[in-house]
Amino acid sequence: MNIYFFTFGCKVNLYETENMKELFSEAGYTVSETEQEADIFIINSCTVTENGDKKMKKELRRLKRTYPECIIVLTGCFPQAFYDKAEQIREADIITGTKNRSMLPAIVSNHIKDRKRTVNVSQYNRKEAFESCSNKGYWNNTRAFIKIQDGCGMFCTYCIIPYSRGNFRSKPLDDIIHEAENLAAAGHKELVLTGINLSFYGIDLGKRLVDAVEAVCRINGIERVRLSSIEPEMITYEDIKRFSALEKLCPHFHLSLQSGCDKTLRAMNRHYLSEDYEKLVSALRENFTDCSITTDIMVGFPDETDNDFQQSLDFAKSIGFAKAHIFPYSRRKGTPAAEMPDQISQDIKRRRAAEMEEAMSESREKFLSSQIGKVFPVLFEREKQDGIHNGYTPNYTKVKILTKYSDKSLRNELFYVKIIGTEKDFCIGEIVSNH
């Protein structure tokens, strides 16, 4: 039977979808490229925003209407965090949470036999172990992901994740090494270590994130290692010193800020202040040449006054981000912030988001211009039909080679490239030599 997957949300969900594809392929199912061929749909849900929930439900309704005979599986964060609501979604024939994914092919096989509706969501306990999962390859991407961490116990007041993913837990180092060796053997040169709260990797194992990074950097065939989003707490100066000794570790850090105003950071239950953030950025820049810092910023958190927003804006401008994702605060039922008085109106949130966006796109332009004249090893990814080669520098600047260089695909190849110009969201380069 043919299965088609829909993924909502973050890199961890994408990793888990890839993992489910492998599990279903091993169980004899065919992963289809298009939804028209599918007999079974798997919706891997995210529940970070209520808007995301609405989109997911709309998609479920559309699928049931268009393919009434198909089996629909709803899995992931939404059923895990909101069991009662998920249970009422009648379009879903099977409902599971974020636990026990390896059982999903068997659950689907049973449903095919008896056609009984199945709801199987088990709750996390505080001392949950990391659920074994490993991917062998990402056929459509040069870059491969390894989920090394799951769960979060920080309880930021706006965030539903601790309720949908449980407490911190980490993949054992030996499993990470084994997975990374398989990915290298499959031809991947670049690995991205990912997790729900990556900075806390190892807290349950007596290890630190840097231990995992050192382990994968030692693997032959892997030429680059990246970190996905990290939280500012837990990264110490000693960690940064150890990170900077690793030639394969890319100097790009997506360091979540959320707000540059200390009053708002406290209300968000973030565990750092703007001064700590600034010191961390300085330490990274001191230790990594051509370091780029990107971030996420939320605007319109409850009780964020004009003055608080101005502080956040001024702080964000002072950092010089290479890129920032701006999110207007979205009220999430089940979190403390949703119950806070002084919610900010949509109009004000929109205005603040636009102001922050404008400032951050100026920062982005400055960053891109500062790359002109530099030479970087670029790992090439997809290639367009018109012969334009696209790739990324170690600091995650997208580079396009506009002049025709070769008729051959450069996909998964490393070349030295000189940056000669910029466009809106990328740099233009020319190839100087082979890596």
Residue 237 interacts with ligand SF4 (CB under 6 A): yes or no: no
**What is the per-residue DSSP string for 65-129?**
HH-TTSEEEEEEHHHHH-HHHHHT-TT-SEEE-SS-GGGHHHHHHHHHHH---EEE-----TTPP
String marking each residue 186-225 x if it binds ligand SF4 according to CB under 6 A:
----------xx----------------------------
Task: Enumerate residues 303-362 that contact ligand SF4 by CB under 6 A.
Answer: none
Residue count of the chain, please give it: 435
Dihedral sign, CA of 148, 179, 20, 229? positive
**Taking contact as CB under 6 A, which single stretch among the options 20-28, 86-94, 147-155, 273-281 is the one that binds ligand SF4?**
147-155
- CB of residue 200 vs ligand SF4: minimum separation in angstroms? 8
For position 257 contacting ligand SF4 by CB under 6 A, the verdict is: no
Q: Are 177 and 216 in contact (CB under 8 A)?
A: yes
Is residue 7 within 8 Å of 45, Cβ to Cβ? Answer: no
Which listed residue (105, 162, 202, 328) binds ligand SF4 by CB under 6 A? 162
The reply on whether position 135 binds ligand SF4 by CB under 6 A is no
Per CB under 6 A, the list member of 150, 190, 231, 304 interacting with ligand SF4 is: 231
Only segment of 96-104, 124-132, 157-165, 327-335 that touches ligand SF4 (CB under 6 A): 157-165
Do residues 198 and 232 lie in contact, with contact meaning Cβ atoms separated by under 8 Å?
no
Q: Which is nearer to ligand SF4, 71 or 255 (CB)?
A: 255
Q: Which of 30, 61, 88, 155 binds ligand SF4 (CB under 6 A)?
A: 155
Minimum distance from CB of 355 to ligand SF4 (Å)? Answer: 23
- 170 makes contact with ligand SF4 (CB under 6 A): no
DSSP 16-30: HHHHHHHHHHHTT-E
> Is 10 near ligand SF4 (CB under 6 A)?
no
How many other CB atoms sit within 10 Å of the CB of residue 217?
19
C-beta separation of 300 from 348 below 8 A? yes
How many CB atoms neighbour CB 296 within 10 A? 14
Q: How far apart are CA 435 and CA 416, in angstroms?
A: 6
For position 159 contacting ligand SF4 by CB under 6 A, the verdict is yes
Binding site for ligand SF4 (CB under 6 A): 152, 154-156, 159, 161-162, 196-197, 231
